[in-house]
Amino acid sequence: MELQEYLKYVSSRVNEFMEELVRGEPKEIYEAAMHLIRAGGKRLRPAIAMLSGRIAGGAEGEENALPGAAAVEIFHNFTLIHDDIIDRDEFRRGVPTVHKLWGVELAIVAGDLLYA
């Protein structure tokens, strides 16, 4: 499998996992928390985690690495939400930042939700 193909595969798997994991009530907070995750990104961090799992344990190791790979990406997105607030950025990944759409207070809570 070529690198670009593998990155697409990892992105798809990790995105599905995060969609299942980061959902709940109140919906507005969870929608804000998922905003940047849904906007895309390279997903290099989870790809490294899953590839490490494959190297260490084959296909089963790669599958076992999926929760950790998603956790790394979720944590990364928490840092981006808070960074955008501090830097007063208006766009990230081609979409408005979380605090621009939902306000600073809700963006902080959304980032904290991803951290937790």
What is the C-alpha separation between 19 and 115, in angstroms, rounded?
Answer: 16
Domain 3-115 is found in CATH 3.40.50.10320: no
Instruction: List the beta strands (DSSP E) in the chain.
Output: 91-92, 95-96
Instruction: Look up residue 63 and give its amino acid.
Output: E
Peptide bond between residue 26 and the one before it cis (omega within 30 degrees of 0): yes
Question: Do the Cβ atoms of 77 and 44 come closer than 8 Å?
Answer: no
User: What average pLDDT does the segment 77-82 reach?
Assistant: 98
Single-letter amino acid code for the residue at 95: V
Enter the pTM of the model: 0.93
Q: Is the pLDDT of residue 51 over 80?
A: yes
State the CB neighbour count (10 A cutoff) for residue 34. Answer: 20
Residue 96 backbone phi and psi in degrees, to 5: -60, 145
- pLDDT category at 58 given cuts 50, 70, 90 is very high
How far is it, in rounded angstroms, from Cα 41 to Cα 37? 8
Structure confidence at residue 85 (pLDDT)? 99
pLDDT at 1: 77
103 — phi, psi (to 5°)?
90, 160
